[in-house]
Amino acid sequence: MNVFQYIVQNHGEVFEATGWHLGMVVASTLFAVLIGIPLGILISRRPGWNKAVLGTANVIQTIPSLALFAFLLPVPWIGARSGRLAILALTLYALLPLIRNTYAGMKGVDPAIVEAGRGMGMTDRQLLFSVELPLALGFIIAGVRVAAVISVGLATIAAALGAGGLGEYIFRGIGMYDNQLILVGAIPAAALALLVDATLGWVERRLRAI
Amino acid sequence: MSTGTQNGTVIEMRNVAYRFPGGPSLLNDLNLQVRRGETLMLLGRSGSGKTTTLKLINDLLSPTEGDVIVDGRATRDWDRIRLRRGIGYCIQEAGLFPHFTVERNIGLVPTIENWELDRIRKRVAELLQLVGLDPSLASRSPKELSGGQRQRVGVARALAADPPILLMDEPFGALDAITRAELQKEFLALQQRLQKTVVFVTHDLREALFLGTRIALMEGGRLVAALSPSEFMKSQDPLVQEYLEAFEMPTPEKRASA
């Protein structure tokens, strides 16, 4: 059967898998944003910490994804559900681009501007929220974009653990030597990646224009 | 921050030294008084310690030795935020926030001081007029302005909450000669009206002579002399003469022989 015929005939099921796939990406990117941005800000404030934090995030990035999924299996509560496992692993992978871009963005803010604000009596909190973060935002969104696009690809591997998503079709296709079935997973995944990239790219351009 | 000490001294440096933690000494045994309403020019070459001296006043740097006294109280005893909000601060290239409009930039201190919106808007309009800018510029972004306009906005921002003290760090340094001369003239007129206590950093002797009521010449982290412009022109100090020669001004000897 041809890819498109298959998708049309099973559109409910493909649609659901795509939705779940996107759900895993959105959830993990969100978690990574909540952890990565504060970490990036922290290491821009404490120069001593930046090597340790970036180094750790780098090491996580180098672990092959299947191995990372396997490492996390024995973790209590997380290992009990493959969905949780997949989201945690994707979150860990998304951390590096977020920490690094937040750090770079914060470091890229002109120190003369920050000092001008400080000299006029702005508090650290006011400087962070109304000067440094807004000026670093373009960089940070670029990090979110990279993280989200990587996640779309990596999330296909989550199917190996039974976490579902579009990878389901790919693994089934590989098992059945059915290239068409592989494409049923791969084409929507590629489309999703392009969509996520374009959406966040638009947001990024809007923010940089400020 | 409304009243000073009896003798009219608003800022005083007592045996002040500053060095970076573990680094070289940038300032040594500095003793200096700034009187109410005067414009004290800190004159010196790069690395002479003039900007360091300025930043000690609003506690962007804290002295490693001695006391910096503002309005009768050592800066270390001040609430840092209160101290700074009572001191206008204006730097080279203006240091405007690029993501704020002109209006928000000028209204910065009033905003963080929680003024009412109406009052801020009125004050911004007043300040734009004061520094000779068209009110229509209020909604512009700093990058849409010329260098001279940006610097005017910087001056307006420093004046926003009507602070009695103004610190200016080479505010006109990055401007072309004509615009600089224009802004210097306007600043002089403005200062004659407002009578702020101004500490102004410059490396330009002409600017120092033109704007200052007193000139504090600095070299290698030390104060060489603090003289009025006319005293400066007559001084026999070798470093002062070096400056006069460098700027092709008549030194006392040359005038005597002429």
ipTM: 0.87
Chain A residues with CB under 8 Å of B93 CB are: 112
Q: Whose structure tokens read 């005893």?
A: B77
| B22 against A187, higher pLDDT | A187
pLDDT band at B24 (very low <50, low <70, confident <90, very high): confident
The whole-angstrom separation of Cα A16 and Cα A22 is 10
Mean pLDDT of chain A: 91
The whole-angstrom separation of Cα B1 and Cα B163 is 8
Taking a contact as any Cβ pair under 8 Å apart, which residues of chain A between 91 and 130 contact chain B?
112-113, 115-123, 126
For residue B52, pLDDT over 50 is answered with yes
The whole-angstrom separation of Cα A78 and Cα A161 is 13
For residue A72, pLDDT over 80 is answered with yes
| Preferred mutation among B89, B93, B150 to probe A, highest tally of A CBs within 10 A | B89
Q: State the distance between the two ends of chain A, measured CA to CA, in whole angstroms.
A: 50
Candidates B89, B96, B97; nearest CB to A119: B89
Identify the helix (H) or strand (E) that includes residue B150. helix B147-159
Chain A residues with CB under 8 Å of B58 CB are: 119
Q: How close does chain B come to A131, measured CA to CA in Å?
A: 7
pLDDT band at B3 (very low <50, low <70, confident <90, very high): very low
CA distances from B221 to A113, B18, B99, B203, B242 (A): 25, 9, 36, 14, 18
In this prediction the pTM is 0.85
